[in-house]
Amino acid sequence: MVVDNSGMSIQLSNGVTMPPIGLGTYPVYGEAMCKMIVDGWDSGYRMIDTSDNYYNEEDLGVALSRLYEARNAKRGDLFLVTKISDELYPVNQPGAGTNRGIFFWKSSPMMQSPTAVHDIISRKIERSLRSLNTEYIDLLLVHRPYPDYIHEIWAEFERFYKQGVVKAIGVSNYHARNIEALSSCEVLPMVNQIEVSPLNTRKSLIEYCRSQGIKVMVFAPIMTLRTVRDSAYHDMLQGLSKKYDRTPAQVLLRWNVQQGLIPIPKSTQRSRLEENIAIFDFSLEDDDMSLIDSFNENRQYVVESKACPGF
């Protein structure tokens, strides 16, 4: 089954268009990555999301090469998203377990050069381009707000954006106050990728992003299906699943897109890939959207977001 969502693209503030749903890649590597990318293409996915600290950009690059050969696909058919991250200290090294990264904090020995941010961001982008076997990145995100260098990092993003190496730039795990810190910059973020779920609807942050012309992407959009033990929550989803003759995952993903959000589900199973993208031929009623919203507890699940510097 191939789902055609080409007529439902999302337009960013700079005019760049992107698909309304993407394919997550963490934690997928090797042959599993190759199979997932080809199966994802066959299912209709045209946007793929990764990050430098998923440590699978090279695997994705290999998978893309196989896709181009196997399906006569071209680089221009795809929308590639990656992120610039700090890197945690390896186990058994000083700093391990502190959640403090190697680079982006003032006292780091790696940041003593006046050109440190420029040098690090440049190396990371060059490595991503090389690993992904591409001359450009469609969307580059700052993986977290790093308060000590929030302006310097963004200035480097602006530089690569102006050079055309990156077609759009954005942030991830940013709160309104982190975005406001960039208000004096030349180019505002075009995307903010965050955690959103019925248990954590993030309404105020979503509305703030909309007011700034920032699109909201959602990572791990169906994670609550396996992490939440609340029987009332699952009963609600099962009820809606029966009402619409859709799976609970499809109900959650439809809840995302109906708010104008861009979900990034992940699966290595072809049947699930096909299921997750088949959400553009039905709509949830307003009362059911409100019912899902009513489960909000402002409950944050993803550890990465909880541990976010500047949280």
Catalytic amino acids? 54
| Cis bond upstream, residue 147 (ω within 30) | no
List C-alpha distances in Å: 86 to 29, 95, 141, 171, 240. 21, 13, 12, 14, 40
Q: Are residues 257 and 20 in contact, defined by beta-carbon separation less than 8 angstroms? A: yes
Lookup: tokens for 167: 């077609």
- What CA–CA distance (Å, rounded) separates 76 from 115? 33
| 92 class by beta-carbon count within 10 Å (0-12 exposed, 13-18 middle, 19+ buried) | exposed
- What CA–CA distance (Å, rounded) separates 289 from 72? 40
**DSSP class of residue 140?**
E
Q: Tokens 């997932």 map to which residue?
A: 36
Run of H or E including 82: strand 79-84
> Greatest CA separation found in the chain?
60
Q: Tokens 């990371």 map to which residue?
A: 124
Q: Which residues contact residue 269 at a Cβ distance below 8 angstroms, ignoring those fewer than 6 apart? A: none
Q: Are residues 142 and 125 in contact, defined by beta-carbon separation less than 8 angstroms? A: no
DSSP string, 245-260: T--HHHHHHHHHHHTT
- What CA–CA distance (Å, rounded) separates 127 from 134? 11
